[in-house]
Amino acid sequence: MTLIIGDQAPDFELINQFGENVKLSDFRGKKPVVIVFYPLSFSGICTGELCEIRDNFGKFEHENVELLAISVDSKFVQKQFADHEGYKFSVLADFWPHGGVAKEYGVFLEEAGISNRATFVINKDGELVSKFVTAPGQARSLDEYDRALASL
Supply φ then ψ for residue 137, to 5 degrees.
85, -5
Q: How far apart are CA 32 and CA 63, in angstroms?
A: 8
Instruction: Kindly report the length of the chain.
Output: 152
Please, which residues have CB within 8 angstroms of residue 38's CB and are 6 or more apart in sequence? 46, 49, 50, 69, 70, 71, 115, 117
Q: Which residues are annotated as catalytic? A: 46
Which value, in Å, is the radius of gyration of the alpha carbons in the chain? 14
Contact, 38 vs 50, CB < 8 A? yes
